[in-house]
Amino acid sequence: MRKLQPWGALLLVLPLFSEGGENRKVQEILRFTLGETPEEVARLIGRPSHLDDSVPGYQSWQYEPPAEESGDDNSAPAWFVCLRTGTRQVVSVTRNFDKAQDVDALFPVAQTEVHHWPSASDRQFSVRVRRISEDALLLAMGTARAGERTSQLILIRRSALKTFMPWLAEQME
C-alpha cells in the first residue's frame, strides 16, 4: 500500500470543507422535529437574544446572527422559533441567512411541491414545500425550482399554516 503524503491527505479532505460550509449551514434546520420542548430548543441553539409575545397565544424566540454572518439592526433574526404560549409547543423554526443559500439537497424533486402566492395563475411569490412528517413541512421561501437560492428556510407544522400562511394552507388542501 502506498503511503499518502501529508499534502495528499489535505487534497482529499479539501472538497469536504469547500462543499460542506454552506451545506452544513442549511442542514442545521433538520436538527429540529417540532417536537422539542423549549428547554431542548435552548440546548440546541442556546437562549434567545430577544423574546416577543406581542401576538396573542404565541411567543417568538429570536437569535442574533452568528459571528461569521453579517448583520445589522435591520437584519432578520438568524433563528426565529415560534411557540404556542399555552402548551409551549414549538410551532415553527425559521432560519434566515445573510446571503442566499443553495438548498437543493433539502428539496429532492420527487418530494417537493411548488406553490405560489397569491395563486398559481398570479405568481408573485413562490415557495418550495417538502413534507418532513405528517405535520411538519420544510419551506424554501422565494424559490420555485432547483438552482434557485433562498435566504429563508422554515420548518412549520402543517396545522399552523391556516394561522400563519392561509394562502398556502388553502392550496395544500
> In this predicted model, what pLDDT tens digit does every residue of 25-57 receive, in sequence order?
999 999 999 999 999 999 999 999 999 999 999
The amino acid at 58: Y
**DSSP code of residue 97:** E
Q: Nearest CA to 129 among 111, 102, 146, 147? A: 111
Helix H or strand E segment including 45: helix 38-45
Cβ count near 17 (within 10 Å): 9
| Whole-number pLDDT of residue 72 | 61
Q: What mean pLDDT do residues 134-153 have?
A: 97
Residues 6+ apart with CB under 8 A from 133: 33
Contact call for residues 63 and 45 (beta carbons, < 8 A): yes
What's the rounded Cα separation, in Å, for the pair 38 and 61? 10
pLDDT band with cut points at 50, 70 and 90 for residue 77? confident
Q: What mean pLDDT do residues 126-149 have?
A: 97
Tell me the pTM.
0.84
The residue ranges of every structural domain in the chain are 15-172
Is the confidence at residue 70, as pLDDT, over 70? Answer: no
Residues 6+ apart with CB under 8 A from 28: 95
Beta-ladder partners of 141: 127
All three cell numbers of 72, joined, read 445589522
